[in-house]
Amino acid sequence: MSSLKDLQESFQRGILAGDDTILAEIRDSAKEERKALFGVYRQAYVARLAEVLADDYEQLHAYLGDAGFAKFAKSYIAAHPSDRKSARDFGRHVPEFLKADAGFAKHPELAEIASLEKALADAFDGPDAEPLKLAKLAEIAPELWAKLIFTPNPTAIRLTFTTNAAEIWSALREDTAPPSTRLLPEPQAILVWRHDVTSRFRLLGAEEAMMWDEAVAGTRFGVLCEMVAIFSGEEGADFRAATYLKDWVDMGSLADFRLAP
């Protein structure tokens, strides 16, 4: 008789690796053979996790179609046995998996669609924070603005895409035919965050993306204005920087600020 520990290891190998050793411990029922009965667990494992992936990567599923998605799910499930208590975490390696797998990597939009879906899901139940209000910012004396250092909303995630994956995702989300995949002439910066209870994303121009990345790294507003001036010209630089900042406040992607010493 196997110990409980050996029995559980053998049962798990039977599910994950198709090893039949466990069948010696199982009885046939009056109506069915043990292999078919154990098969219920084998099938349920793959079916349940494929369903988790389909729920978490809805637009990737729509893009690949049922057969393509089933093929992807099968290889992902084999490559990444679940190691977290929550099924919600099971698909967290999908973008890297699609990037690393030789077959899927030929279609770079797949990993990018997946990374957008993952970021939106992560933002959905990420940490809460009150968004920074314009009124609070307006209380700061003009001479102190150069010292402002901003704190992003804790759900904010920056992505950079090489393809039109964001456009494809949006079309799929609207249930319309996605555009053909194309490589972009310049990388596309994307900001994902949650406003109130809704996850959002926004395409950022190159200058705005540069300013966002510097801002969340702790660069003071005075320096941000100088960097904007260097990036695409001094004329109107302060105005451009102030406009980006106002947009971020309006869309709730900042949580707070502090004054540099």
Partner 1 sequence: MSAAKPPFLGFGLGLRPQHYAEILNGSPEVDWFEVISENYMVEGGQPLRMLDRICERYPVVMHGVSLSIASTSPLDLDYLTRLKALAARVNPKWISDHLCWTGVHGVNLHDLLPIPYTREALDHVVDRVSQVQDFLGRRLTLENVSSYVTFGQSEMTEWEFVSEVANRADCWLLFDVNNVYVSAYNHGFSAHDFLNGVPRDRVVQFHVAGHSHEESHIVDTHDHPVCDEVWDVYRAAVAHFGPVSTMIERDDNIPPLAELVDELDHARSIAREVLGAPRLAAAE
Q: Which residues bind partner 1 (CB under 8 A)?
A: 1-5, 7-9, 11-12, 15-16, 25-27, 29-32, 34, 36-38, 40-41, 44-45, 48-49, 52, 81-88, 90, 123-129, 155, 194, 197
* CB 1 to partner 1: min, Å: 5
Euclidean distance between CA atoms 126 and 149, whole angstroms: 22
Q: ∠ at Cα 118 (114, 122), nearest 5°?
A: 175
Contacts of 7 (CB under 8 A, 6+ apart): 22, 25
Provide CB contacts within 8 A for 120, sequence distance 6+.
192, 199, 201
Q: Report in angstroms how near the CB of residue 61 gets to partner 1 at its nearest.
A: 17
Closest CB 48 distance from partner 1, rounded Å: 5
Minimum CB distance to partner 1, residue 28 (Å) = 9
Smallest distance from partner 1 to CB 38, Å: 6
AA letter at 258: R
Amino acid at 94: V
Tell me whether residue 87 or residue 171 sits nearer to partner 1 (CB atom). Answer: 87
Q: Nearer Cβ to partner 1, position 28 or 234?
A: 28
Tokens found for residue 209: 């993306």
24's enclosing H/E stretch is none
**Residue placing its CB nearer to partner 1 in the complex, 17 or 230:** 17
CB of 253 to partner 1, least distance (A): 15
State whether residue 198 is helix, strand or coil: strand
The answer to whether 39 and 47 have CB atoms below 8 angstroms apart is no
Q: Whose Cβ is closer to partner 1: residue 87's or residue 137's?
A: 87
Nearer to partner 1, 29 or 160 (CB): 29
Cβ nearer to partner 1, comparing 127 with 205: 127
Cβ-based neighbour number of residue 203 at 10 Å: 13
Return the number of other C-beta atoms located less than 10 Å from residue 12's C-beta. Answer: 15
